[in-house]
Structure 1
Amino acid sequence: MSFRDTVLNEAELIFEKRGIENTSTETLLTALGISRGTLHEIAHTKKHLVQLCIIQSIKNRQEIVDKIVAKADHPMEAVLHLLKLSIEEVHSFSSEFVQDLRDYYPRSWARLELFMRTISQKYLQPLLAKSIELGYLQQDLPPELVVRLFLNQLQGLLNPQLFPAYAFDYQQLFKIVFVYHLRGCATPLGQSHIEKFTHKAMAV
């Protein structure tokens, strides 16, 4: 990993935890352990830095998604891993970070939302269809509708009035938002795999 990528990754984590507007340039420089000149070589302005951080985070997340799909033993396992990852990501965002993106960096927020939709359409929907084909999920389950519902639920989790930061841990959210829904849509074969995955995931 290059020095530039390391700086962007660390800056992204700081923004996600503290919020963007709450993080001054001086605070950022101290946390990153770099000079103002070094930061300016990477990004000319704070807005530029946020844009680069989002682009870098999307690249990182894409690599993780590709690895999950490649390593999964069956499509149902890949679906569960991707949904668990989605919950973990959303849960890691502070409400300040999300609100700052929406209010002050709409293009970066739109880029992040587009990535979420792309992952859902390019990966989740085909994986759900394959899970139906292989007998893990009920034959009459419409993959596109399920993906739309999942996306809507993830958007709801970003509402701090409904889900205050850290009021629920991500394992609770994963079970309530996704596992119980999928269990009701699954065949006995699918339910068996869901139970095994959930037991393993909750033990971590």
Structure 2
Amino acid sequence: MEDSSTRDKILKGAEGLFTKYGVRSISMDDIARHLSVSKKTLYQHFTDKEDIVTLVFEAVLSESRKEFEAIHHTAENAIDELAKLSVCLKKNVDEINPSLLFDLQKYYPKAWAVWLEFKRMCIYDSIKRNLDQGIAEGFYRPEINTEIISIVRMALIETAFDDKTFSHDKFRMTEVQMQIFEHFVFGILTDKGRKQYLRCKEKNTPETVTR
């Protein structure tokens, strides 16, 4: 039980460091120092840093999957789901270091593979299902090719993390992601969908929810 508790503590502590500072800049020494444990303790539970990185992102993406599913099951319709997802996106992006995906892609292939699988099996499926539902409900333009637009949406999410496209010195990640999200949304809405989205957006803003 103690070993399991220590392992969970290490993963949670590493997650906090990776999220705030990125993955590449955090060493095993940093993790040990942050958690007040020895490096020997880290290596008793994990093979190396990549092992920690991979397990951290498996856990993070598993939680994201549950969050997406909860939003889907509680949403009144496709538009309501979209508005709730925008709140979720903003909250998550606020907590992520902009270099995160770049670090994974370049230096941690196993963790990057976990992200690619999540993108393919969860994000793509979630977007496409929402688009198909929204078209059926009359909220989204019927001529949309949902397969193509789902792939475009996934590409846009990753583009926001690219420092060459959106310099992290000039642009805030949250603003970039939300601008891209709004651009995407208003490109798929019918007139009926636009009115419904604006109503749902107002209802689901954090300020409105916490009143």
TM-score of the aligned structures, taking structure 1 as reference length: 0.83
Residue correspondences, number: 202
> Residues 71-115 of structure 1, C-alpha deviation per residue, up to 9 Å, x if partnerless?
212122223433554465456443443333222211211211221
Q: Contact 1:183–1:194 (CA<8 Å) still a contact in 2?
A: no
Q: Which of 142, 163, 176 in structure 1 is aligned with 2:166?
A: 163
The secondary structure found in structure 2 opposite 1:99 is helix
- 1:63 match: 66
The secondary structure found in structure 2 opposite 1:151 is helix
Looking at structure 1, the residues matched to 100 and 123 of structure 2 have their Cα atoms a distance apart, in angstroms, of: 23
Q: Contact 1:157–1:163 (CA<8 Å) still a contact in 2?
A: yes
Tell me the CA shift for residue 125 of structure 1. 0.4
Per mean C-alpha deviation after superposition, the further-off stretch among 86-95 and 55-64 is 86-95
Tell me the CA shift for residue 46 of structure 1. 1.2
1:44 aligns with 2:47: yes
Looking at structure 1, the residues matched to 187 and 8 of structure 2 have their Cα atoms a distance apart, in angstroms, of: 42
1:54 aligns with 2:54: no
Per mean C-alpha deviation after superposition, the further-off stretch among 8-17 and 134-143 is 8-17
> Residues 7-29 of structure 1, C-alpha deviation per residue, up to 9 Å, x if partnerless?
32331231132232321222212
The secondary structure found in structure 2 opposite 1:21 is coil
1:107 aligns with 2:106: no
- 1:79 match: 82
The secondary structure found in structure 2 opposite 1:123 is helix
TM-score of the aligned structures, taking structure 2 as reference length: 0.81
Structure 1: which 5+ residue stretches go unaligned? none
Structure 2: which 5+ residue stretches go unaligned? none
Looking at structure 2, the residues matched to 180 and 129 of structure 1 have their Cα atoms a distance apart, in angstroms, of: 19
Looking at structure 2, the residues matched to 174 and 48 of structure 1 have their Cα atoms a distance apart, in angstroms, of: 29
- 1:128 match: 131
| Letter in structure 2 aligned against 1:51 | T
- 2:141 match: 138
- 1:9 match: 12
| Letter in structure 2 aligned against 1:168 | R
> Residues 44-84 of structure 1, C-alpha deviation per residue, up to 9 Å, x if partnerless?
21121112112111211111111111121212222343355
| Letter in structure 2 aligned against 1:120 | I
| Letter in structure 1 aligned against 2:168 | A
